[in-house]
Amino acid sequence: MLGIPDSYSDYVAWEQLPHLWCAGCGHGIILKGIILSLGELDIPPHKALLASGIGCSGRAGDYVACHRFQGTHGRSLAFATGIAAAQPDLTIVALLGDGDAGAIGGNHLIHATRRNINITTVITNNYNYGMTGGQFSPLTPENSITSTSRSGKTESIMDVCSLVAEAGANYVARTTVYHVGEMHKFFKEAISTKGFSLVEVISPCPTYYGRYNKIGNSPEMLNWLKEKAIPLEKYNSLSQEEKQNFVWRGKLIQRSREDFISKYKKQQSAVK
């Protein structure tokens, strides 16, 4: 289905494999999608940086051979703001988890978006904190069973895509690990967009979320994602009540607000 560019090998730290992710986890698919996109866009490893945070997704940096930055929990976008300022020509992909991006890093997400820092953010949303034992995150659907919501999550879900769209992102899309072709296309579009872009990828965590919510093992979770995630247009045509059973996938926004550093340098040179 996907053409694998020759340079693919150059981005992978082969000696670091096998990875630590559980069998059936979606993180590997997402990381591979990012790497393939960088290769296809001809961004050499030394011009690419993978910034991650803490949690399962945070470990992705251990498997890449391009520049790697792993920050403290939730702060990756704040760190990357400094990196992007110092190295404006670097392609920065921030790979965050749902807890990383939505909970502890929620404020940095809003402000990196609002500032329009030239970063592509990929949120791996596996509906829970996998590394620490399957607790719910803000991006976990309401009523979900998790290790800290045994009788169902009381809080409502945070729609991170709508949030960053409202905050001014230049590109926002959502898909799932099942829709790998679409994911790949979104990654390439997001990386090619100057300014802040974000792709949320819903990903199976069979170890915790699938098990707790009786969805099943990895193939069953993928099938579940296939059924659950419907195109944005179709989703929009549903009634409020019907919408409760689905999650949309697709491209929410694409625009071209000037990014922070370009605008800052222009403004400052005008007053000199």
What stretch of H or E contains 123? strand 120-125
For residue 14, what are its two tokens? 């082969």
Q: Give the whole-angstrom CA distance, residue 127 versus residue 136.
A: 7
Stretch that binds other proteins, among 54-62, 124-132, 140-148, 199-207 (CB under 8 A): 54-62
Nearest 5°: the CA angle 220, 222, 228 is 100
Rounded-to-integer distance, Cα 173 and Cα 164, Å: 10
Q: Closest approach of Cβ 262 to other proteins, in Å?
A: 12
Q: Per rule CB under 8 A, is residue 49 in the interface with other proteins?
A: yes
Is the preceding peptide bond at 206 cis, omega within 30 degrees of 0?
no
The reply to whether 13 sits near other proteins by the rule CB under 8 A is yes
Pick the binder of other proteins from 7, 16, 147, 254 (CB under 8 A): 16
Interface segment toward other proteins; rule CB under 8 A; list 33-41, 110-118, 175-183, 221-229: 110-118
CB of 214 to other proteins, least distance (A): 34
Least distance to other proteins, CB of residue 28, Å: 17
The H or E element spanning position 222 is: helix 218-228
Cβ nearer to other proteins, comparing 76 with 207: 76
Nearer to other proteins, 66 or 123 (CB): 66
Dihedral sign from CA coordinates of 215, 223, 250, 62: positive
Contacts of other proteins in 69-108 (CB under 8 A): 69-72, 75, 78-87, 89-90, 107-108
The reply on whether position 14 binds other proteins by CB under 8 A is no
Of 2 and 17, the one with the shorter C-beta distance to other proteins is 17
Terminal Cα distance for the chain, rounded: 53
State yes or no: residue 47 binds other proteins (CB under 8 A). yes
Of 41 and 78, the one with the shorter C-beta distance to other proteins is: 78
* 148/80 Cα distance (integer angstroms): 31
Q: Assess 45 for contact with other proteins (CB under 8 A).
A: yes
* 3-class DSSP state of 119: coil
Q: Please, which of residues 230-259 interact with other proteins by CB under 8 A?
A: none
Per CB under 8 A, 8 contacts other proteins: no
Among 42, 239, 240, 271, binds other proteins (CB under 8 A): 271
With CB under 8 A, what is the number of residues at the site for other proteins?
A: 40
DSSP, collapsed to helix, strand or coil, labels residue 160 as: helix
Q: Which residue has the tokens 């419907």?
A: 230
Q: Which two tokens mark 269?
A: 């040179």
Q: Is 34 exposed, middle or buried (0-12, 13-18, 19+ CB in 10 A)?
A: buried
- Alpha carbon distance 230, 245 (integer Å): 10
**Contact status: 27 vs other proteins (CB under 8 A):** no
Binding region for other proteins (CB under 8 A): 13, 16, 45-47, 49, 59, 61-62, 65-72, 75, 78-87, 89-90, 107-108, 110-111, 115, 261, 264, 268, 271-272
